[in-house]
């Protein structure tokens, strides 16, 4: 009997993270390690009622993305639960704050965005790298954005400068994971324009129509990309999950 697939997803309390957790739990023989700020909070308790397929279950661990020690404690909790490796990490947590014309953007939002959108992923990788190395096919997926591409910025991106610049840094980090780990499949994805709190806020801020893609539909597309990803075909790339197009860094 094959061992279960172990998937760690950050930010499962809402949005794409929650949808991904639900989608993986609906598949047989999957253990989902989900990070939330407070595993005992009411919203976290609600996650425990997500339907699970045979051999699948959810393990919630506490990670506050501004606390660089939390990922280490989360790994201790994971290992105490009998988990000795991780097959897939989806670095999904992120914020988009301080939307304003570039000339008026508050510097503090750049620092906050970098800490959450970039540094939290770095310290998470440092904490879980030993468990990833024990997988026979380890994968790291950074949930990025087209806004992080420095090659083709769209007209409204200057209104989300802190977010977009932090995503560009996250992309650099993801490329470095690919280059420095010959056994790891590491790549970044643009999930599309998704009907989440962040997607709705972005649409309102940019004065455009609300996104039409549901979190559940986006999660299915993301999982399809992850499932077919290989070191040879996917690692080191930046992909649009809707079109499967490779986005220029």
Question: Residue 195's pLDDT is what?
Answer: 59
Instruction: Encode burial over 132-162: b for 16+ CB neighbours within 10 A, e otherwise.
Output: beebeebbbbbbbbbbbbeeeeeeebebbbb
Residue 59: partners with Cβ closer than 8 Å, 6 or more residues away: 31, 32, 33, 34, 77, 78, 81, 83
CA distance 173 to 170: 5
Q: What is the DSSP string of 195-232?
A: SSHHHHHHHHHHT-PPP-B-HHHHHHHHHHHHHH--TT
Question: Residue 3's pLDDT is what?
Answer: 87
- Residue 42 belongs to some domain of the structure: yes
Taking each helix axis as running N to C, give the angle between helix 161-180 and helix 107-114, from 0 to 180 degrees, rounded to the nearest 10. 30
Known catalytic residues? 163, 167
Residue 187 neighbours by CB distance under 10 Å: 26
- Residue 107 belongs to some domain of the structure: yes
| Contact indicator for 10, 90 with CB cutoff of 8 Å | yes
Question: Residue 205's pLDDT is what?
Answer: 64
CA distance 249 to 96: 20
CA distance 10 to 90: 7
Question: Residue 72's pLDDT is what?
Answer: 97
Number of domains in the chain: 1
- Residue 230 belongs to some domain of the structure: yes
Domain span at 136: 5-240
Residue 67 neighbours by CB distance under 10 Å: 14
Residue 194: which of 205, 210, 208 has the closest Cα? 210
Question: Residue 43's pLDDT is what?
Answer: 87
Which CATH number belongs to the domain containing residue 16 in this structure?
Answer: 3.40.50.720
Question: Residue 214's pLDDT is what?
Answer: 76
CA distance 117 to 160: 13
Q: φ, ψ for residue 178 (rounded to 5)?
A: -65, -45
Q: Please list the ranges in the chain whose pLDDT falls under 70.
A: 1, 152-157, 194-197, 199-206, 208, 210-213
Question: Residue 97's pLDDT is what?
Answer: 85
Question: Residue 84's pLDDT is what?
Answer: 96
- Residue 248 belongs to some domain of the structure: no
Question: Residue 52's pLDDT is what?
Answer: 97
- Cα separation of the two ends of the chain: 41
- Residue 247 belongs to some domain of the structure: no
Q: What is the pTM of this model?
A: 0.93
pLDDT tens profile 90-114: 999 888 888 787 888 899 999 999 9
- Residue 116 belongs to some domain of the structure: yes
| Contact indicator for 154, 170 with CB cutoff of 8 Å | no
- Residue 249 belongs to some domain of the structure: no
- Rg of the chain in Å (alpha carbons): 17
- Residue 245 belongs to some domain of the structure: no
Q: What is the dihedral of CA 126, 127, 131, 137, to 10 degrees?
A: -40
**Token digits for 123?**
């310290």
Question: Residue 223's pLDDT is what?
Answer: 97
């Amino acid at each position: 009997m094959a061992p279960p697939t172990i998937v760690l997803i950050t930010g499962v309390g809402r949005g794409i993270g929650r949808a991904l957790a639900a989608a993986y739990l609906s598949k047989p023989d999957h253990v989902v390690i989900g990070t939330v700020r407070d595993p005992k909070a009411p919203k976290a308790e609600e996650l425990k009622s997500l339907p699970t397929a045979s051999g699948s279950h959810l393990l919630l661990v506490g990670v506050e993305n501004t606390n660089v020690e939390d990922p280490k404690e989360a790994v201790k909790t994971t290992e105490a639960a009998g988990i000795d490796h991780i097959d897939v990490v989806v670095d999904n947590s992120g914020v988009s704050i301080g939307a304003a014309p570039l000339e008026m953007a508050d510097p503090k939002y750049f620092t906050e965005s970098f800490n959450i959108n970039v540094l939290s992923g770095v310290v998470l990788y440092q904490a879980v790298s030993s468990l990833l190395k024990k997988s026979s096919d380890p994968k790291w997926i950074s949930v990025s954005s087209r806004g992080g591409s420095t090659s083709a910025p769209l007209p409204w991106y200057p209104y989300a400068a802190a977010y977009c610049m932090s995503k560009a840094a996250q992309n650099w980090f993801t490329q470095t994971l690919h280059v420095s780990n010959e056994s790891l499949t590491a790549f970044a994805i643009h999930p599309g324009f998704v009907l989440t709190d962040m997607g709705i806020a972005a649409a309102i801020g940019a004065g455009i129509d609300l996104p039409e893609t549901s979190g559940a539909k986006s999660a299915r597309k993301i999982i399809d990309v992850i499932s077919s990803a290989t070191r040879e075909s996917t690692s080191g790339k930046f992909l649009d999950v809707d079109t499967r197009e490779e986005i220029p860094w």
